[in-house]
Amino acid sequence: MGGFLGTLLVGIFANPEINGISAGLGQFLIQLFGSAIIASYSIVVTYIIFFIADKLGTIRVTKEMQEHGLDDTFFHENFSDYSNSNKNN
């Protein structure tokens, strides 16, 4: 979010003495258009990557793993381990 907001704010606070770009509605719209293009590209590429990974069978976990809990399955940790340790202090 900070990168997106910063990109838009360049169109509002740009100073021609610093970076040769004048602030204004035109520059803001250019920044907005560029940000929209990058966001669209990111969404499409991410979808393609996840689509391929899903077809390779690397995304989904089994129902048993979900029911047991992913923290415990992958990291051998449980939230109750931390919540109980705080009560002893």
Where exactly are the structural domains of the chain?
1-45, 59-89
Q: Is the pLDDT of residue 86 over 70?
A: no
- Phi, psi torsion values for 78, nearest 5 degrees: -140, 145
pLDDT score recorded for residue 27 = 94
| Measured distance CA(39)–CA(88) in Å, rounded | 47
Q: Is the pLDDT of residue 43 over 90?
A: yes
| Measured distance CA(7)–CA(1) in Å, rounded | 10
Model pTM?
Answer: 0.62
| Measured distance CA(31)–CA(13) in Å, rounded | 12
Neighbours of 27 (CB within 10 A): 16
Q: pLDDT tens digit string along 45-79? A: 999 999 998 888 877 888 888 888 888 888 888 77
Average of pLDDT values for 21-35? Answer: 94
